[in-house]
Chain A
Amino acid sequence: MKRLMPPRTLFITLTLLCLLAIWLSLALGPVSLPLLDTLRAGLRLMGAPIAADGLEQAELILGQIRLPRTLLGLGVGAVLALSGVAMQGLFRNPLADPGLVGVASGAALGAAVAIVGGSWMGGIAEWFAPYLLSACAFVGGLGVTALVYKLGRRDGQTHVATMLLAGIALTALAGSAVGLFTYLADDATLRTLTFWNLGSLNGASYQRLWPLLLVVLAVALWLPRRAQALNALLLGESEARHLGVEVESLKRELVFCTALGVGAAVAAAGLIGFIGLVVPHLVRLLAGPDHRVLLPASLLAGGALLLFADLVARLALAPAELPIGIVTAFIGAPFFLFLLIRGR
């Protein structure tokens, strides 16, 4: 067996990688800013007393466009990766993905309702209209996941296998409902729906950022506390129970964290696939299955990977932009394959 990377090395590497990603995400973009201007504008944004002469442009691009975008990317990547760990731990299967409990398909259904049906629901308050899509996606994701969880409960116990099947069934059901909305959509809404399904960090703003960052913080603080319990769960449910883990409440927390995290990520940036499946897997290949390492490492790796993907998304076709969902799969999948082949 291949030797694993010691946790210390892994954390240092990932932290450096994350910092590099943040730096590149702030420094690079279609507008080429001189490095010095970026630095000075950055310092000014942090409150350093530097003269503003000639920095307006740099400050605007950095403060209003790149910084919210970078924070959004970090948050979305981190929470998707953490949810991936939670789901793979819950199903005790490295192929599990946050989509399994229906949160992604539920969010897609919510988005379809908002995009296509938005014009039919009259009387939406003006201040709420811009947030309708995010709110519907969030509620849809949470709603379908709650239903999946409910269907998996029997005699006060959560049957993971039943939940899995219920998730598959409800995903199919939500998929067909999305299909129906697609059919009813006109050209304009169809395009919006298609692009939403590919995800994007484009147009990030602080107002939309805070709810997501709060959720990310909550999930990132909560899940690592359950790392030991997740480790015990790896041995099997009854074994974990004998080790003193309250398995039922653990399952509930895992499902809830995933629904909340993925729901918020999807509401903020649309559907971004691949991160939740591959990042935990990747970290496990490097550092083994211990959740005390896996959880924080996935958080860092998820954020960094999404930022790198976003760099490609915004630079590859500049001044136009690629949907990020295309990029995450396009660079992530071959890399993943490479690791798999090398690890054999």
Chain B
Amino acid sequence: MMRRPAALLTLCASLVFVTQALAADLPQRWVSAGGALSEWISLLGGAQRLVGVDTTSQHPETLKDLPSIGYQRQLSAEGILSLRPDLLVGTEEMGPPPVLAQVRGAGVRVELFSSTAQLAAVDDNLKHLGALLGREQKAAALAADYRQQLEALQAKLKQAQTTQKAPGVLLLVGHGGAKPMIAGKGTAGDWVLQQAGARNLADNQGYKNFSAEALAALDPDVLVVSDRSLDGEQALQALLKENPALAASRAVKDQRLVRLDPTLLVGGLGPRLPAALHELARAFYPDAQATLAP
């Protein structure tokens, strides 16, 4: 009988060793080439493992202090290798392929993630990241929470739509207000509008320039403005100043202009999206403000 506790002790000790050994086997030096991925990594507590990020990794702010490996589609093999990474993570947008082959050839693990705007992609990505970080539970919790937030929003929107018709909306993506483009079908912007309970009035594919006349004909109830160089009120003012024709539209007359952070629209679904969607939904359904609080 005396042997058993000893055996148990040995078992416990060996288990501790095994988990420690596993933790040491996890990749320690990470390079991330994807904005949303970098955000998720930071949320999962892996920020201190990042040794380099690409130019789309803008959140959280601290990532901007890391060495930049350039734009995710235009990576340089030697540049990445100079950071001595164990792991390069990115979406299928990462490239060019010959460079990825060189990085792999140098013994760096390259892991690909999905940047499609679908909840299932978020689940998969988080599971994958969790395993790579050794934080499976935290990742599962985050994924469940994400799903729950988006599903709750859909339920509330359904509720709100019983009293108010879904508004017709256009999403304008621009630079300092000049020559904005409309987010059409198949874009991340389109997905965002739909998730926030709007009808996207644009039926073009991808992001396209628009004419003031076409915009007048579509006559949106709400304009969502996503400006890459200006913030908040300034962005809205600049847009109206550069495009005086907009002033005649219903959205401007009713002062229903909403701004959206443009970094939410690139590189897949990130952790800041549910809050942004709730905010948009509140702007789309002013009567249901209270119920649509996150």
Q: Report if B62 contacts A (CB, 8 A).
A: no
| With contact pairs A195-B74, A203-B102 given, residues A32 and B82 touching in the complex (Cβ less than 8 Å) | yes
Contact B73 A61 (CB under 8 A): no
**CB < 8 Å: which of A130, A192, A318 contacts B73?**
A192
Of B39-47, B63-71, B133-141, B246-254, the segment with at least 4 beta carbons within 8 Å of chain A is B63-71
**CB < 8 Å: which of B76, B93, B105 contacts A320?**
B76
Which residues of the other chain, B, contact A29 by a CB distance below 8 angstroms?
A: 78, 82
**CB < 8 Å: which of B67, B101, B105, B205 contacts A319?**
B67
Q: Report if A126 contacts B (CB, 8 A).
A: no
Q: Report if A66 contacts B (CB, 8 A).
A: yes
Q: Chain A nearest CB: distance from B268 CB in Å?
A: 13
Q: Chain A nearest CB: distance from B72 CB in Å?
A: 9
**CB < 8 Å: which of A130, A192, A319 contacts B68?**
A319
**CB < 8 Å: which of A57, A192, A208, A320 contacts B70?**
A320
Contact B79 A319 (CB under 8 A): yes
- Interface members, chain A 223-257 (any B CB < 8 Å): none
**CB < 8 Å: which of B77, B79, B80, B206 contacts A187?**
B206
**How far is B70's CA from A30's CA once the two chains are assembled, in angstroms?**
13
Contact A30 B102 (CB under 8 A): no
Which residues of the other chain, A, contact B207 by a CB distance below 8 angstroms?
A: 186-187
Closest B residue to A317 by CB, please name it.
B70
Q: Mark A26-56, 1 if CB is under 8 A from B, else 0.
A: 0001111000000000000000000000000
| With contact pairs A186-B206, A187-B207 given, residues A319 and B83 touching in the complex (Cβ less than 8 Å) | yes
**How far is B4's CA from A66's CA once the two chains are assembled, in angstroms?**
61
Q: Report if B98 contacts A (CB, 8 A).
A: yes
Contact A320 B206 (CB under 8 A): no
**CB < 8 Å: which of B71, B83, B96 contacts A203?**
B96
**How far is B55's CA from A286's CA once the two chains are assembled, in angstroms?**
43
Which residues of the other chain, A, contact B71 by a CB distance below 8 angstroms?
A: 191, 195, 320
Which residues of the other chain, B, contact A185 by a CB distance below 8 angstroms?
A: 206
Q: Report if B52 contacts A (CB, 8 A).
A: yes
Q: Report if A197 contacts B (CB, 8 A).
A: no
- Interface members, chain B 120-157 (any A CB < 8 Å): none
| With contact pairs A60-B106, A130-B97 given, residues A318 and B79 touching in the complex (Cβ less than 8 Å) | yes
| Total B residues in contact with A, Cβ cutoff 8 Å | 32
Q: Report if B240 contacts A (CB, 8 A).
A: no
Contact B99 A318 (CB under 8 A): no
Contact A320 B99 (CB under 8 A): no
| With contact pairs A60-B105, A186-B206, A202-B99 given, residues A195 and B79 touching in the complex (Cβ less than 8 Å) | no
Q: Report if A314 contacts B (CB, 8 A).
A: yes
Closest B residue to A322 by CB, please name it.
B70
**How far is B52's CA from A202's CA once the two chains are assembled, in angstroms?**
19
- Interface members, chain B 68-119 (any A CB < 8 Å): 68-71, 73-83, 93, 96-99, 101-102, 105-106
| Total A residues in contact with B, Cβ cutoff 8 Å | 31
Contact A205 B101 (CB under 8 A): yes
Q: Chain A nearest CB: distance from B99 CB in Å?
A: 4
Closest A residue to B83 by CB, please name it.
A319
Q: Report if A321 contacts B (CB, 8 A).
A: yes
Contact B99 A30 (CB under 8 A): no
Contact B69 A203 (CB under 8 A): no
Contact B74 A321 (CB under 8 A): yes
- Interface members, chain A 178-206 (any B CB < 8 Å): 185-188, 191-192, 195, 200, 202-205
Contact A321 B76 (CB under 8 A): yes
Q: Chain A nearest CB: distance from B69 CB in Å?
A: 5
**How far is B70's CA from A191's CA once the two chains are assembled, in angstroms?**
13
**How far is B205's CA from A21's CA once the two chains are assembled, in angstroms?**
47
Q: Report if A64 contacts B (CB, 8 A).
A: yes
Q: Mark A155-195, 1 if CB is under 8 A from B, else 0.
A: 00000000000000000000000000000011110011001
Which residues of the other chain, A, contact B96 by a CB distance below 8 angstroms?
A: 202-203
Closest A residue to B186 by CB, please name it.
A186
Which residues of the other chain, B, contact A323 by a CB distance below 8 angstroms?
A: 74
Closest B residue to A313 by CB, please name it.
B76
Q: Mark A63-74, 1 if CB is under 8 A from B, else 0.
A: 011100000000
**How far is B74's CA from A210's CA once the two chains are assembled, in angstroms?**
23
**CB < 8 Å: which of B68, B78, B205, B206 contacts A65?**
B78
Which residues of the other chain, B, contact A30 by a CB distance below 8 angstroms?
A: 76, 78-79, 81-82
**How far is B98's CA from A203's CA once the two chains are assembled, in angstroms?**
5
**CB < 8 Å: which of B82, B93, B102 contacts A64?**
B102
Q: Mark A293-335, 1 if CB is under 8 A from B, else 0.
A: 0000000000000000000001001111101000000000000
A203-B98, A203-B99, A321-B76 known, 17 other contacts, Cβ within 8 Å: A29-B78, A29-B82, A61-B78, A186-B186, A187-B206, A187-B207, A188-B73, A188-B93, A195-B73, A202-B76, A202-B96, A203-B102, A205-B98, A208-B98, A319-B52, A321-B70, A321-B79
- Identify 23 residue pairs between A and B in the complex whose beta-carbon atoms are under 8 Å apart, listed by A's number: A29-B78, A30-B76, A30-B79, A31-B82, A57-B106, A65-B102, A186-B186, A188-B93, A192-B73, A195-B71, A202-B77, A202-B96, A203-B77, A203-B98, A203-B102, A204-B98, A205-B98, A205-B101, A205-B102, A319-B52, A319-B68, A320-B70, A320-B76
Q: What are the 4 A-B residue pairs with the smallest beta carbon separation, nearest first?
A: A320-B70, A319-B79, A203-B98, A30-B82
